[in-house]
Structure 1
Amino acid sequence: MPKDLKKTYNQYLTNLDGKTAILTTPFTPLDCFYIKFDILQLPHLLGLHKIYNEPPKSLCSKLASSSITYEKIQRHKMFGSIKDRITLFDFILDIFLEDYNGSVIYVSEADRNGSSMKLDIAFNHPYKNKILTLGLREISPAIYIPVTFYVKKKIIAQDFQQSKRAKILSLEFIGTKNILLR
């Protein structure tokens, strides 16, 4: 089913842009940490950088004006590599608005060094025969930003095998608008 990219843009803008999530866990390195959201993160999370060679601000403008549509990008040769990112993107909202499973992965040094993304924190979620991953990187002590969203087929050896999983005790937002769901 084709995805309405303008709707995805508006959902991210309304629910996450300019907001900071405050999370607490019982795991000491992550006892309290923050995730900062910005609308300019959206094009990369959707994988649009694989199709367009433009800055995020330009891509956001095109998403807002419906110049970039699912129908247009599905004809691009790289569409197959981002299709799941786009169609399963609601997972990101589910993490923060629906408390989908209440855990976070603190990426170990061993797992971080084995990855080109050098993630510090990740959220994994099984979905049918796939694993959805939202990866974050630390930008200053205890402050993280989303840097990648990817979807992989389930395999026996999953990502982050040497990393610590921590239960999320609380998750709240600070920022401008109230959280609206869809």
Structure 2
Amino acid sequence: MLIRDRSIMEKAMSITFDDIRLASTRLETQQQERKDFLVDMGYKLVREYTGSLSLPSTHWKDSNNTDRPYVYVGLVNAKDLFQSAPLPSLSLDDDYALSFKVATIVNDSPLSAGPQYLLSIKMSCNDGRLLVDVANGMKKFTITSFDQDGCFYEVTAAMKQIIVSALTDARLN
């Protein structure tokens, strides 16, 4: 025998289209606010990382004398190729996380065609904290003071350590 709770049914029956539309608008606003926050934090992380590299300049010149950035962001597309993309153009995943790749040029010789190292970054929020996953779980960080300068110090140190480790082969020593 099915026993229904009349108070729940009565409450559900009093929901109107305006209530549904308001809930939808509230959800869209919350999603956009989350994306805006994560994009801002992504830019801040990339700025701190770039600044920590002691680069000779922000750009290097390729064989065509074209300026190329030492550090830039993007994603791996459906053809498994990296493509540069601004953070605001990326979508949040189903868990409202922002995932992207940070490309770092590892050889700035004009004839080298700028080989790069790609590092995966995933940023999400939980209980007012910023969670940063570097290299698909290789390193994870919880940032609570994300409004302070240098809040990504440990993250950028890990990013550089992972790149140097990946570019080191003990068999060649």
- Structure 2 length as normaliser, TM-score? 0.25
The structure whose RCO (Cα within 8 Å, separation 6+) is larger is: 1
Between structure 1 and structure 2, the one with the greater Rg is 2
- Structure 1 length as normaliser, TM-score? 0.24
